A and B are shown apart, each in its own frame.
Chain A
Amino acid sequence: MTGNPRNPPPDEVLGLDDLSIAVHDGAATAVRDISLSVHAGEIVGLVGESGSGKTLTCRAALGVLPKGCQITGGSISFERQDVTGLSPRGWQRLHGSGIGAVFQDPSSYLNPSLTVGSQVAEVLRVKRKLARRAARATTLELFAAVGLRNPELVFHQIPAELSGGMLQRVMIAIAISCEPRLVIADEATTALDVTIQAEIIELLKELRDQRGLAVLFVSHDLAVIRELCDRVVVFYAGQVVESGSVEEIIERPRHPYTQALLRVASVGDYQRRELEVIAGQPPRVGAEIDGCRFAPRCPAALDACRSGSIELARLGPGHQARCVRAGDPELAGVIEAEMAVR
């Protein structure tokens, strides 16, 4: 599709088209030709190991790439407008109106000596130009919307007086304070207890349903993605190796890496089982590999996997995988047999 003008559907909120990102001042390519889209009222999950490029992709979509990283190809569009070369001022405007963000550790994003209410109200006064009183009222409404039970009390508390789950709710309140169409959440539930994590997952689904919010949710945990997302994009070593609806990916994974991820993921039946591992280590960030990037760790790799470039193949409606054996009915059996041996 490269070279052709894209024609995204009208409800596309975020579109990445063949996006590549270089790190170490252009010395290595960490993200290669990523294409994905997030639509209104949809939660898309990015899953992959650390170093797979998912956080970098997120930061590019937020316009906050770290120093030494740059976009070397492809484009980013927000509500069908190209924002790839947007100026820092332009991104700032977008952060205050169209895009919100939630990160892993809420306590490091809030000032420990100010009340949380004043910090949220400040965002509203700067970004939405609200008067003091209106900002306060809107903050209380937001606190209620994210399920904080006693908004008045929370308003006057400092971050240290709130639990991790309450702080993450405050961060989500800030993220949705400017009525964004898109929220990008990077490992937003990873640091939380399971009971709180379940509540935050429900909150994000509610916001999706009630506000038509689009969410890009990044996690290394396929089980969390399964609970929350509508569609999944699987990253491996800087590439998309598989994408599709959650049901498709969980029920009919076609890439060996996805199949392996599923075999090591948490299951809720609490039966004793052999704990399986994916043998080997992912390649170092930016490594140049001929052929499939997963082939060195893949129990089902053939000679054909080790040369040339392997393209994403369409396997069904909305389901794609980057594997020469993606259509092979014996693939899952090979993965199962090989992983059980180890």
Chain B
Amino acid sequence: MSAAATETSATPLLAVEAVDVVLGRGWRSSQVLSDVSLTIGPGEIVGLVGETGSGKTTLARTIVGLVKPRKGRVLVNGTETSGLRRGALRRQRRRGHVQLVFQDPLRSLDPDLTVGQIVGEGLAIRGGLTAAEIEARVTAALGQVGLDATLLSRTPGQISGGQRQRVSIARALATDPGLLLCDEPVSALDASNRNYILRLLGQLRDDLGLPIVIISHDLSSLAGIADRVLVLYRGRIVEDGPVSQVFSAPRHPYTALLMASAPSVRHDRPLDVHQLRRGPADPAPPSGPNACVFAARCPFAVAECAEQPALEPVGDRWAAACRRHDAWPALARARPAAATPA
């Protein structure tokens, strides 16, 4: 298959290999990422979903080198970036090869700078370009996100929320990156602006072949744009697979819970949220330091879940970390749909 061929022949743009991240020191430290591995291929849009505290943002920060992994490696274009220090790290960053777009553009853009200064800042820091060349690149980057040059002299406070997020993306595009990491790029926007930004990201992928990671908790909009989805729960990847397959028959009960919880204007979900939440009648789940991270919330946990399962293949390019990935969907369908009164 062609996908498998590209995987073996070309080095992936980004590879994260068995990364552990611990934040804090001593007794206050906590492990935020455990054994996280992933690869991003050329022109791929990958959705990264999970709840607050699941480690989505830490993973993004680890990839750009703002957080050092305790174990494992991060490779960009086959070069390890996780071990770089000082000068080497600075040079790597200035190249602007991996760019981050933040959630709240009002807080991540300097309110005193004009749009032109914000978008051109990365180029100015990298050096080697004249003012005229920078201006041309800035105008081109704004054009790529559908903004015209009349906005150049405005400050972030003078433009709308949707436009601000487009400025953030233009800032990231200006350095001609090889990978775009977007941390919750649409969660501060209303539905129409959200769709606009997601479509824009899809177009950038189509036009530039740019691989994009979109961190989001809005699964429904990811379904419209992503090729692959990674589900993170308490610092572990619990499911990784093609969007069309994961979203039509999730193999980890947490993915299913996320899908059933998301609000919808149409009531057409395959499983009801009550079929996926623990009820008072469910037997106590196995506990202990090695238990499956999701066991405490899982209505399908059994004794063998006392040990954390590894991410195992469940299909073509599709993996899930659940010992009961074959058994639970039938069990879920057999559970009552509405909450039974206590």
A residues in contact (CB < 8 Å) with B? 49-50, 163-164, 193-198, 201-202, 220-224, 226-227, 250, 260-262, 264-278, 281
Contacts and interface: CB of A to CB of B under 8 A. Distances in A.
A269 B243 CA distance: 12
A266 B262 contact: yes
Interface string B255-283: 00111111111111100010000000000
B192 A277 contact: yes
Given A220-B190, A264-B195, A272-B224, A194 B217 contact: yes
Contacts of B53: 163
A266 B261 contact: no
Question: What secondary structure prevails in chain B residues at the interface with A?
Answer: helix
Interface in B154-201: 160-161, 190-196, 198-199
B8 interface: no
Contact of A269 (B192, B194, B268): B268
Contacts of A264: 191-192, 194-195
B79 interface: no
A270 B223 contact: yes
B51 interface: yes
A277 B193 CA distance: 7
Interface string B218-251: 1111011100000000000000000110011000
Given A223-B264, A266-B220, 5 more contacts: A194-B219, A198-B260, A268-B267, A273-B223, A281-B160
Nearest to A273: B224
B145 to A, nearest CB: 14
Contact of B265 (A163, A267, A274, A281): A267
B191 A268 contact: no
A222 to B, nearest CB: 6
8 contacts: A164-B52, A194-B51, A194-B219, A264-B194, A268-B220, A270-B248, A271-B223, A272-B244
Contacts of A221: 190-191, 263
Given A227-B263, A269-B266, A50 B161 contact: yes
Nearest to B339: A202
B103 to A, nearest CB: 11
A275 B262 contact: no
A266 B258 CA distance: 14
A223 B247 contact: no
Nearest to B250: A270
Given A276-B195, A277-B196, A224 B259 contact: no
Contact of B190 (A50, A271, A274): A50
B190 A49 contact: yes
Contact of B264 (A164, A220, A267, A272): A267
Contact of A194 (B160, B221, B261): B261
